[in-house]
Structure 1
Amino acid sequence: MRKLTYDAVVADIGETHMRFAVANVERVSIDDYAQIGNDVFPSVAEALAAYLRSIPHPPRALCIAITNTNDAEFGRNLVGSDIEDVVLSCRVCVIDALDALSLALPDLAVRDLSQLSGGSVDPCARPR
């Protein structure tokens, strides 16, 4: 019996670039990574539609982290776009990019950290 996997399209919409990938939450892997300049498509919805057409299978979930954007405006752009059918057929999560980063921090291991300045580092230290 084949075990079903759980893939989600994840996106990071920044000030200058949009990054898209397919994340498998069981394997903890990233596939089909693409980075697109914000000036390539007239809207995020059109860039996302192009990315979705480029991947082999439609996602079961879509999670989008957005920097400095009104989430309600983004949601309105998805409705009526050529990805509306995909959006309506999967679970969609839109989150602020800083919130996404803060949610990931507790799951980082010591090997995921890099020291940026001098001094000693205590990986078990808690912020004051």
Structure 2
Amino acid sequence: MKLHPMFPGLLLVGVLVVPQPARAGNDTAVVGSNVLVSSCSQLTVTATFTGDDNRDGSTQVEYNTADAWPGTVACSGISGGSPRQCLVPDLSSGQSYWVRVTFSDPDGVSGPNPEVLGPYTLPSCGADTV
């Protein structure tokens, strides 16, 4: 601190305010995932999120016949905007499946992560009926 040169009784206190640009939403905020039984042998998984403006995050989808993990990886490294989708093909008709969706982002992830959904039971295919 020093005295003002023109007003000797006035004390100068320096405060520098530097405006910062608005921070982009680079972290991933999980909104939620859903699973659609899209056929007798396929599930469609949709993973919705906000943020990740710099698009360095990714999503992985696994499935299993029990709520036990790790499972079989159906899609890994899904990137891009929201929502992200994964088709889980070649499943057994009449079987029940659990799905786990995991978001990764070096800037951080908030919300439910990983998400475990299920069970989803696939209907019998036409050739499976007796």
With structure 2 as the length reference, what TM-score do the two structures score? 0.29
Richer in strand (by share): 2
Q: Which structure would you say has the larger Rg? A: 2
With structure 1 as the length reference, what TM-score do the two structures score? 0.29
Q: Which has the higher contact order (CA 8 A, sep 6+)?
A: 2
Richer in helix (by share): 1
